[in-house]
Structure 1
Amino acid sequence: MMYEHTHNHLVHHQQPVTMTMDTMKMDMIRRNKRERNKESNNNNNNSNNNKDNKLRTVDLSCMSLESLPIPSLDLATISKLDLSNNNLQNIPESLTARLLNLTVLDVHSNQLRSLPNSIGCLSKLKILNVSANFIQSLPQTIENCSRSLEELNANFNKLSKLPDTIGFELINLQKLSVNSNQLVFLPSSTSHLMALKVLDARLNCLRSLPEDLENLVNLETLNVSQNFRYLDTLPYSIGLLLSLTELDVSYNNIKTLPNSIGCLQKLQKLCVDGNPLASPPLEVVEQGLNVVKEFLCHKMNSSGDQSSRKKKSWVKNFVKCGTFQGRINSGMKRPQHDGFTKLKHQSIHGLASPGGFMGMLSPLRIFSPRRSFS
């Protein structure tokens, strides 16, 4: 009886141990199951993320859309939106405000007459293309894209002016294309676009350019061609565009190039076709860019060019920038073409000829290949 009692006692004490082992096994099974479920959920999430990545570029171009469909996707996931080549007359304010991660917006070739004010909500927008529409003015709120916007293309619209403070706000803008509009002037703040590399303002009604261009230290290409009879002068400060490699002032009413152009050391291409130029004269222009630059530098060095206080101040700026190496008020009289190097003859017909200039205003000439020298 004692043995049985002891045995029963032992059994009584061993049973909880056996149950604990079973419990541990069950816990391990449950844990493994949870881990498998977690991996499955992660795979599903990755799959969903891949789907989201595919939605980041949305192309609705060339679909003859007259209005935008109600989106069935999360607008915050879109980084590039192409609505070009449709018949859109407006873009809903509510739609634009929800495109929080948009970096590229292309709405060119539509029927837009204005842009939504909520475009200022696009704090990550880098490229905006609104060309080939009927837009008369850009919303002031576009300046809220100041930290991100790098390229603005508003060609072929009906713009008569740009926001007055555009140059103070769009501090990272590198390319500004506003050709084929009705601009009479560029706001003075344009000269503060210090990151700007390309400025295209051809085929407008420009009467002048901002006087203080020296802040455009990164500008490489400046095109103000085909403003015809309206643009007849260039600012003297154009000679302080130290990064400028291409300058196109063709088909305007310019009679005299600023002497400061001779100080543009990086200039590789100068287009002056279709102007009634008197200075530099035709025989100088025909000899190429280097001769033109030397001619203008020679004029700047001459004592007669230093008569005005304004030009004296400009010369000081040129000296500070290391672009002016001439002798000022030396009293030395030199031959008109002293130091000129004869280059291979490059004929540019029609320059400095009033009769030829008027003939160049025909529509056929506007889009014909232009000649330049380098």
Structure 2
Amino acid sequence: MEGIGNTMQKKAAELERMAEVFVTGEQLRLRLHEAKVIKDRRHHLRTYPNCFVGKEIVDWLIEHKEASDRENAMRIMQKLLEQRIIHHVCDEHNEFKDMKLFYRFRKDDGTFPLDTEAKVFMRGQRIYDKLMNSENSLLQSREEEGVMFEKTLMASEFIDWLLQEGEMPSRIEAERLGRRLLEHGIIQHVSNKHHFVDGALLFQFRMNFRRRRRLIELLNEHCRSSIPENHDSPFCLRKQGSEGGNTSFLSVSPSKEIKVVCAVRRSSLSSSCGSSGYYSSSPTLSSSPPVLCNPKSVLKKQVSPEELQAPGGPYIKKTFTIVGDAVGWGFVVRGSTPCHIQAVDPGGPAAAAGMKVCQFVLAVNGMNVLHMDYRGVSNLILTGPRTVVMEVMEEGEY
């Protein structure tokens, strides 16, 4: 069943990127309607309903700090145009222009391409909102294979709910919908081992449709996809120093050697995420390009997820609640399945919560991550709330 999880993760990750653009665009559309930026406009005695002006939207993005300058604002809108979220009212321009031209969201004029993917995303979003708004006991903390998971759906109960709400006409159709939600990365099995079936298996929403997306994230998709496949690549979650011009990160490990890494800030997927390896830095040659190096893992030996959870085994579970500060959470995730804590900033939030190196990451915000590599774990943290609940396994002392 391990192959199922890996295949699903790859396909879901690709579709999730598409979904993020869709959700980000929809959130922007609703905000612009609320701000009255989208409205009926007249030009040459003709009325164009539900439009916005290119130049005005660029001003709005800068004013609301969604873009740092006009160039970035135009790149954001160009991304939405390329993904067919918006279009020029007459489809005359394939390039977004910072001019007094009328543009419109395709969802406002009924021209949004309702292909299979879009339909699944829209259905998933509606179901997610329904579940979050209704007072039901469908989302519960439940245990599977000795591990407790938060906000889980039992497949059979979820199907019952879909039928009761009139979302699907039959159990067979409801089960098919569950599979589509799984394949599109909207839900996932708690340990990524199973397809969706009408039974007692537990699933969680992988996508948080209500999380406020920052538009700048649309421009950094290449950063996420450019992370190398090497499972030993580290991931740093804390910035070094407080100087505004310093964008490097400090990795603190048990050894005396200090290494600087290039990584991603929580606040945005910045351009510095193009490489995810460690870098050595010389204070006397600060103008020289950094030299890529990959430090040895702090682990004495790699263990399997099964070894970590074996009854009566040497590993014990600990839970930390870490409140991120302005520059992150202060730890480095590294490795394949399972991931481990490679480094902890002694002055950061993670250290204050009690996190230590060599601990294996069991769950993030109630979601089991034993079968995720560092990229999946990092993405969960970066796209989640500022307060992250980390469950880890460490070797007990006897």
Both structures adopt the same fold (TM-score exceeding 0.5): no
Q: What TM-score does the superposition give when structure 1 sets the normalisation length?
A: 0.21
Higher relative contact order (CA 8 A, sep 6+): 2
TM-score (norm 2): 0.20
Structure whose alpha-carbon radius of gyration is higher: 1
